[in-house]
């Protein structure tokens, strides 16, 4: 049930009428990656540019969060953005 809600939220997020702030986008990215792939691995991607580093840092910021908790946080964030 949680996975189904998460998958639905990941589709619903594309229905936003306004683009969220960069911080919110990074939070969405980090929670999605944590929920689907787990903890960030590897080294910081310095050679890939600032955008890749920002994404890596955001994902690293939720390191250790359980997949289920990341899903719940992602769903709550999407719901608040669409409210």
Domain range annotation of the chain: 2-82
Residue 48, pLDDT score: 94
What is the C-alpha end-to-end distance of the chain, expressed in Å? 22
Residue 81, pLDDT score: 96
Provide the 8-state DSSP code for 38: -
Q: In whole angstroms, what is the distance from residue 31 CA to residue 51 CA? A: 17
Provide the 8-state DSSP code for 19: P
CATH architecture of 2-82: Up-down Bundle (1.20)
Q: In whole angstroms, what is the distance from residue 60 CA to residue 56 CA? A: 6
Residue 71, pLDDT score: 98
Provide the 8-state DSSP code for 20: P
Q: Print pLDDT tens along the chain (83 aa).
A: 999 999 999 999 999 999 999 999 999 999 999 999 999 998 999 999 999 999 999 999 999 999 999 999 999 999 999 99
**Residues 6 or more apart in contact with residue 73 via CB below 8 angstroms:** 31, 65
Residue 24, pLDDT score: 97
């Amino acid at each position: 049930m949680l996975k189904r809600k998460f998958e639905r939220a990941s589709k619903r997020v594309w229905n936003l009428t306004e683009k969220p702030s960069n911080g919110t986008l990074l939070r969405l990215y980090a929670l999605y990656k944590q929920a689907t792939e787990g903890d960030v691995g590897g080294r910081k991607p310095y050679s890939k540019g600032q955008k890749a580093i920002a994404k890596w840092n955001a994902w690293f910021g939720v390191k250790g969060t359980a997949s289920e908790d990341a899903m719940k946080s992602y769903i709550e964030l999407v719901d608040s953005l669409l409210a």
